[in-house]
Structure 1
Amino acid sequence: MKKQSLIIDCDPGVDDAVGLFLAFGSPELDLLAVTAVGGNVPVSRTGRNARILRQIAGREDVPVFLGADRPLVREPAGAGEFHGAEGLGDLPPFEPPFPATPGHAAEAIVDIVMGRPEGSVALAMMGPLTNLALALRREPRLAARLGPVSVMGGARSEGGNITASAEFNIWADPDAAAEVFASDLSLTVFGLDATHQVRATDARIARIEAIDTPQAQAAASMMRFSQRVEREIVGWDAPPVHDPVTVAWFLKPDLFEVRTCRIEVETASDLTRGHTAVEFRGVDPATARHHWAVTADADGLFDLLAERVA
């Protein structure tokens, strides 16, 4: 089996946790690193949470690097109300025995990608894009060296989940997102248009709960927490599970329909900060760098998740 070399950049986060468990259990992936960024909660917690999840999955072979603790130019703004004060829902936090690997996440991304064959390393972005923007600043050749990049972020037809027009990951650091989208990277972007189709229904959560492994039990706990919070705050019975799509796309791309497009990010307006302008018109598929997910097969994704946490 030819494995896909992959770095995951994340801000765990309950849906990040589910995405990490999907990746940790997938033999098709050669996980080179997990890099943490401040987002849902501060980076001191997201880095610790990534190490907790790594331990639960028995994957201490995967190094964890800590990255940016704040956006490029703005004040940090978390989402603890949706993830719990510590970022992992109802899971009690603890300090894992295996520490983070020394070095900044942006440096790790540059070193790993530049040290391997061109196009061989892919990147899954589950949080704000700060670490990737910093990596591109450190090494301008990175865009030409990186393989495909999947991004959870943005919104078009669904509207936003943090403001009327902005999704949290892009809103949290719109300046970083604008730099990443303006680069020469090939990006496949999973905004709320797709991730709102991937919902943790009672039946889907119960299926994961019935699997007797630590990672399945932890993933189910995260989704139960999200279900409770979404009922209280939004009024939904089945919460969207956003971040696993960034990993699932590498494993089974046929679960998604994507369209070529051009994406720009609003940074100047307080009213529409972080809005993603997704333009399908006038885009040449032969040269398009951006791809926007329009549909997602939720049943197929949860089948995959159940298989990989078993």
Structure 2
Amino acid sequence: MQQTQLIMDIDPGIDDALALAYACSHTTTIDLLAVTCIYGNVPVQQAGQNALALLKLLDREEVPVYLGEANPMQALDYEVSVDAKRKHGANGLGNIDLPTSDRQIEETAAVDFLLEAARTYGKSLAILAAGPLTNIAACLERDPAFLSRIGHLVVMGGAFLIEGSVTSFAETNTSKDPQASHQVVSQGGPISIVGLDVTLRTLLPESKARQWFNSSDPVRQKLGQMACHYIEAYQAVQPHTIGCPIHDALALHAVLAPEDFSFLKLPVKVEQTGVARGRMVGDKQRLSDFASHVQVAVNLDVTTFEKSFLQAIESRRL
């Protein structure tokens, strides 16, 4: 079976950690080239240290880690939101202590690495962008053909058919840098958007997270500790919650098994101003411009994904 060369552009983040564990379980189908980091759930420097620690936990220390942009486009700094600190903890990983990696973050900047990887691997390269899209937008500014060089960009972001998570309109990742989000998704090309419309249908049950928490397996134990923190944070504001969405792992599933999704093809834009700032929405002005169309996930086989995800973690193919 031919492997997909994969780069994960993430801001770890508890759901990012679960996605990374999911990726590391697919050693026969995924060649994980690197983790590139972006600000978001934590500042970018913390994101890099989290990635190193997670890769050590997952016994994948051969995978390099690169630091990307520290701030949104045209912003001088970035402050982690109160909501992100509540959901992910001060360190981004539910305040769970992980073994410190002896490795260093690569000296090459993430954007430089992404540009070189696109030229090297071409259509066999898939990128999972599960944080703000600032790194990807920076690649496009330096190489407008960047997206046309690669095989697949999967974006975890947006909310098309339901309310957003930050406002009634905006999902978290797109809201952090609407300008970058628009520059990327409006390009068209090999883009699949996996947003809240589908990620909120997936669930890691609290009972399963508790089972992992009490496991003798160190990987499942740490993932369970993180997931329990995540679930408790959701329950604090949504008492009916019985688990947590598996946002980023589901986006990765669109790389592994796109046939498990139903996609709507249309041109997309991101609102830049006003009450709807950060809203990712279909662009009616370009409906007939088929070159600008991207795939937006609107449905999925929930059972198949959840079975695949749980089996990957519990089989310990990590």
TM-score of the two chains, using structure 1 as the length reference: 0.92
Unmatched segments (≥5 aa) in structure 2? none
Verify: 1:249 aligned to 2:254, yes or no.
yes
Alignment counterpart, residue 161 of structure 2, candidates 153, 157, 165: 157
Verify: 1:305 aligned to 2:306, yes or no.
no
Helix, strand or coil at the partner of 1:122: strand
Residue in 2 that maps onto 1:260: 265
Residue in 1 that maps onto 2:61: 60
Helix, strand or coil at the partner of 1:119: helix
Unmatched segments (≥5 aa) in structure 1? none
Counterparts of 1:1-310 in structure 2, within 5 Å, are 1-27=1-27, 28-74=29-75, 75-78=77-80, 79-92=84-97, 95-116=100-121, 118-206=122-210, 208-209=212-213, 212-235=216-239, 236-269=241-274, 271-278=275-282, 283=287, 287=291, 289-309=293-313, 310=316
* Alignment root-mean-square deviation, CA: 2.2
Helix, strand or coil at the partner of 2:204: coil
**Paired letter, 2:147:** A
Q: 1:213 to 1:3 in 2, by over 3 A?
A: farther
Report how far residue 206 of structure 1 moved.
Answer: 4.8
Report how far residue 219 of structure 1 moved.
Answer: 2.2
Structure whose residues are more often helix by fraction: 2
Q: Which of 223-232 and 248-257 deviates more?
A: 248-257
Q: 1:212 to 1:299 in 2, by over 3 A?
A: farther
**Paired letter, 2:127:** L
**Paired letter, 2:301:** D
- 1:218 and 1:243 map into 2 onto residues whose CA distance is 18
**Paired letter, 1:70:** N
Report how far residue 209 of structure 1 moved.
Answer: 5.0
Query: Does the CA-based 8 Å contact 1:195-1:296 persist in structure 2?
Result: no
Query: Does the CA-based 8 Å contact 1:204-1:302 persist in structure 2?
Result: no
Which string of whole-angstrom CA distances, capped at 9 and with x for unpartnered residues, describes residues 16-39 of structure 1?
Answer: 000000001112101111000001
Query: Does the CA-based 8 Å contact 1:208-1:306 persist in structure 2?
Result: no
Report how far residue 212 of structure 1 moved.
Answer: 4.9
Q: 1:193 to 1:280 in 2, by over 3 A?
A: farther
Aligned residues: 308
- 1:64 and 1:167 map into 2 onto residues whose CA distance is 26
- 2:129 and 2:5 map into 1 onto residues whose CA distance is 14
Which string of whole-angstrom CA distances, capped at 9 and with x for unpartnered residues, describes residues 175-221 of structure 1?
Answer: 11011012243211011111110122234435655765333222222
Q: Percent of aligned positions with the same letter in both sequences?
A: 29
